[in-house]
């Protein structure tokens, strides 16, 4: 159970327009993450804009985006986020075997050189915050500056997402009747 309540009325005048925008941009519903964020409409709005840019407007391959999101969710013990992104990862081209092995990617033969570079960068940003030149240099041959910027923003943002979900103990979708 979440530590603080979700707004009860998504049709309340203070949040109705934003809730409708979230529904329009997120598959016709307001998931529990956004329901929790709607406790602060300005934060929910900024969050929506940032994550929409990352998920829907970047040129970074969706496979790399979802791979890094899954890895971050595992590292940060954000089960909600991992479960939510498995279908996206499959849709973007990750195999089920890669999903099963992303937690132990260093010992897996399922990840290409570029995928290993992405996962190493994800781990460095998530676990160390600082990124060594060696790890960063593994990315350079595979990505242009825009893609590196988008990958970095994705990793930073999904660390924010997983930590928000975990800190407030946001419920899995199945636990609550969705609006």
78, 49: one domain = no
Q: pLDDT by residue (tens digit) across 3-53?
A: 999 998 999 999 999 999 999 888 888 989 999 999 999 999 999 999 999
83, 147: one domain = yes
Instruction: Give the confidence band of 64 by pLDDT, cuts at 50, 70, 90.
Output: very high
Q: Where does the chain have alpha helices with state H?
A: 16-25, 32-37, 41-56, 62-75, 79-91, 96-101, 113-123, 133-139, 145-167
**CA-CA distance, 174 to 171, in Å (whole number)?**
8
Total residues belonging to the chain: 179
Q: How many domains does the chain have?
A: 2
**pTM: predicted TM-score of the whole model, two decimal places:** 0.91
**173 domain-assigned:** no
What phi and psi, each to the nearest 5 degrees, are found at residue 143?
Answer: -135, 145
88, 153: one domain = yes
Range of the domain at 21: 16-57
Instruction: Give the confidence band of 173 by pLDDT, cuts at 50, 70, 90.
Output: low
Is pLDDT at 176 greater than 70 in this prediction?
no
The whole-chain average pLDDT of the chain stands at 93
**174 domain-assigned:** no
């Amino acid at each position: 159970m979440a530590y603080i309540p979700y707004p009860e009325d998504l049709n309340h005048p203070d949040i109705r327009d934003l809730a409708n925008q979230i529904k329009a941009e997120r598959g016709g519903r307001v998931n529990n993450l956004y329901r929790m964020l709607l406790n602060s409409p300005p934060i929910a709005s900024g969050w929506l804009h940032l994550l929409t840019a990352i998920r829907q407007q970047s040129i970074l391959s969706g496979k790399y985006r979802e791979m890094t999101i899954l890895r971050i969710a595992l590292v940060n013990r954000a089960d909600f986020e991992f479960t939510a992104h498995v279908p996206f990862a499959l849709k973007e081209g990750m195999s089920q075997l890669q999903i099963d092995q992303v937690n132990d990617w260093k010992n897996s033969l399922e990840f290409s050189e570029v995928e290993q570079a992405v996962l190493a960068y994800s781990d460095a940003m998530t676990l160390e915050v600082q990124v060594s030149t060696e790890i960063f240099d593994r990315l350079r041959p595979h990505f242009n500056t825009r893609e590196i910027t988008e990958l970095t923003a994705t990793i930073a943002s999904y660390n924010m997402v997983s930590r928000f979900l975990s800190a407030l103990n946001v419920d899995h979708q199945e636990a609550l009747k969705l609006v």
